[in-house]
Amino acid sequence: MTFAQVLATEFLKLRRSKVTWLTLAALSIGPLAIALMMWIVREPGRAAQLGLLGTKANLSGLTATWPAYFSMLTMMVGIGGMLLLSFIVAYIFGREYTEGTAKNLLALPVGRHWFVLAKLVVAAVWWVVLVVAALAESFALGATLGLPDFSATLAVRAVHDALLAAAIAYLLVPVVAWIAMLGRGYLPPLGFALAMLALGNVFIHTGWATWFPWSIVPLFIGSIGEPSTTIATSSLVVVALTFLAGIAATIAQLRWADNAQ
Amino acid sequence: MALSADTAIATRALTKRYRDVLAVDALDLDVRRGEIYGFLGRNGAGKTTTIRMLLGLIRPTGGDVEVLGRRVLPGTSDVFAHVGYLVETATAYPNLTVGENLDIQRRLTRAPRAAVAEAIELMRLGELAERRAGTLSLGNKQRLSVARALLHRPDVLVLDEPANALDPAGIVEVRELLRTLVSEHGVTVFISSHILTEIAHLVDRIGIMHEGRLIEELDRDQLRAKERLYVEVGVSEPRRAATILAAAGFAHIEHADDKLRVYDAKGRVPELARALVGAGLDITELTQAHEDLEAHFLRLTGGAQ
């Protein structure tokens, strides 16, 4: 009952929020950009006429096919999603400090941990809606372009990969939530997310890639090298532990730290 | 700590230290059920830090807090079903309407649906109920925050500067509302304010904080007794006048702007006037008055700054 009420209030807080539409718009641009690249590769002459293809542009490594399209889509959901999801979580948690409302939540007949859990559920629902919308948009755009080499097996695999990348990205965000609480606002978690993304791409070149949480998505989607077909068990354990540690740290921060806002 | 059933809020040796700064120093406080307790102090005296510890928003470095007989620590939740509060600035979700902001409070305090409408009516927010909080004036945001504090009909109200940003009519409204809550519903009110005369009109007792310590507690009768009688003298050449009065045996003289305040002139006003006129000074004003709470407060906390 308590959790249901807290969850209801967390969803209510999103009413008329421009950020929800902003994130939808941001993720929608991804498939559009990928589709545009596919079209340019297929129609370089017309693209050049329209000024979309510069004389020095190099898209030679790209083919206008469903496999290439899906590969880029997974990359967008994985890497772009890690950033966008961090932005969402920074907003959900950080706004309480930026808008000065955190103090209104802390002396209520509600355990503080419920707020953390409800906010993470809201982030999860928000993220699922965005990813599903982006996938639907991608299929529609790919079909409109009439890309070759489509198969049901390929589509299922692409959806599976995108959802798995999205799920791993989600499991990393409780740490971002903790940073939002620690830093009391939007900027520290966004800075942290960018730094982790950069570090993840550094670690991917080392033998530690499977152990560093923010390298696991880039490794899986093949942002450098070939994409992995599976995720190592050790990586799954690392991600799961990161998820649990992030939740524990966020709850502890809200429960025990001074809130002298 | 062993408290009487009569006590709504109690602290024992409550202390908060921020590195080298002792914000609250071994505070012992008892607020009785059904009273309005005024908590006075200059900026930085430790009022808001104390209030935050009462609400479990910050952890004491030492000592205890009890509210309605239950110990408060960060993370305490059950007792807050009976506590309403407003800490410092009024805040609300800007994208939500007044009604939606209050509905959040209703759900979190498990108050009945009708509580939102009642709080809106109580704080006269009816015309603003559908307005987004982000578009409200500061004063109306403050009314919304007071409505939020009252919504679940708490037994204890903790209000930190509730008159902030309210216009004079709003201040009177809140004052009357608090009186009604206390007289008709037995609510305990713990209120801090920098509007000292406002506190004097409202409270049953006051506590004065200074540099983290509770330096004085007074009930209404004691407050009246503290009000010192003085004679205010408007006179040409105030400095010379002070010297003349001192020579005439008046020992407690203070300068107030370009006037003198003589605190030991009770029954000696004719003598005072004769001494000044006899020295060739012109008296432009001679008024007998009582020192108010503000003056007493400033005296205790080190004078005007």
pLDDT digits (tens, 9 = 90+) for A157-187: 999 999 999 999 999 999 999 999 999 999 9
Contact A9 B92 (CB under 8 A): no
Instruction: Report pLDDT digits (tens) over A191-206.
Output: 999 999 999 988 888 8
- A170 phi and psi angles, rounded to 5 deg: -65, -40
A vs B, Cβ pairs < 8 A, gives: 89
How near does any CA of chain A get to the CA of B42, in Å? 18
Number of domains in chain A: 1
> For chain B, which residues make up each domain, given as ranges?
7-224, 227-300
Return the pLDDT at B3.
Answer: 63
Among A33-37, A242-246, B2-6, B53-57, the least confident range: B2-6
B100/A15 CB distance under 8 A: yes
Are B52 and A104 in contact (CB < 8 Å)?
no
Q: Which of A103, A105, A122, A254 to mutate to test the interface with B (most CBs of B within 10 A)?
A: A103
User: Can you tell me the mean pLDDT for A108-122?
Assistant: 96
CB A82 within 8 Å of CB A189: no
The set of residues, in sequence order, having a beta carbon less than 8 Å from that of A180 and lying 6+ positions away, is A89, A90, A93, A94, A97, A186, A188, A189
Residue of B58, B80, B85, B95 to mutate when probing chain A, most A C-beta within 10 A: B95
Distance of CA B8 to the CA centre of its chain: 18
Percent of chain A having pLDDT more than 90? 68
What integer pLDDT is reported at residue B76 of this predicted model? 81
- For chain B, how many residues are written? 305
Instruction: Report pLDDT for A106.
Output: 92
| pLDDT given at position A58 | 55
Cα–Cα distance measured from residue B222 to residue B232, given in angstroms and rounded to the nearest whole number: 23
Per the CATH hierarchy, to which homologous superfamily does domain B227-300 belong? YebC, transcriptional regulation domain (3.30.70.980)
Query: What pLDDT does residue A172 have?
Result: 95
Query: Would A261 be classed as within a structural domain?
Result: no
A:134-173 residues touching chain B, CB 8 A cutoff: none
Contact B216, B229 (CB under 8 A): no
The alpha carbon of residue B215 is apart from the nearest alpha carbon of chain A, in Å, by: 24
Q: Are B118 and B66 in contact (CB under 8 A)?
A: no
Question: Which residue bears the tokens 């093949």?
Answer: A222
Model ipTM over 0.85: yes
CATH number of B7-224: 3.40.50.300
Flag whether residue A5 sits within 8 Å of chain B, measured between CB atoms. yes
**For A63-78, how does the pLDDT look when each residue is reduced to its tens digit (9 = 90+)?**
889 999 999 999 899 8
When pLDDT is cut at 50, 70 and 90, the band that residue A135 belongs to is very high
Mean pLDDT, to the nearest integer, of A105-117? 95
Question: What's the pTM value of the predicted model, to 2 decimals?
Answer: 0.86
Q: What is the dihedral of CA B241, B244, B249, B255, to 10 degrees?
A: 30
Between A117 and B265, residue with greater pLDDT: A117
Backbone angle region of B184, left / alpha / beta, with phi > 0 → left and psi within -120 to 50 → alpha: alpha
> Domain range holding A138?
2-256
In a domain, A172, yes or no: yes
Nearest CA in chain B to A255: B75
**Most A CBs within 10 Å: which of B91, B130, B144, as the mutation test of the A interface?**
B91
Which of A10-24, A47-61, A102-116, B28-42 has the weakest average pLDDT? A47-61
- Give me the mean pLDDT over the A85-94 stretch: 96
User: Which of the residues in chain B have pLDDT under 50?
Assistant: 305
Q: Is A259 on the interface with B (CB under 8 A)?
A: yes
pLDDT at B204: 92
Which one has a higher pLDDT value, B59 or A224? B59
Quick one: tokens of B161? 């500067």
* pLDDT on residue B8: 96
**Whole-number pLDDT of residue B165:** 77
CB contact under 8 A, A9 and B132: no
Q: How much is the pLDDT for B42?
A: 86
Which chain B residues are within 8 Å of A252, Cβ to Cβ?
Answer: none
Question: Torsion angle of alpha carbons B259, B265, B267, B270, nearest 10°?
Answer: -50
Reference B91, options A154, A67, A101; nearest CA is: A101
- CB contacts, 8 Å: A259 with chain B: 52, 57-58, 74
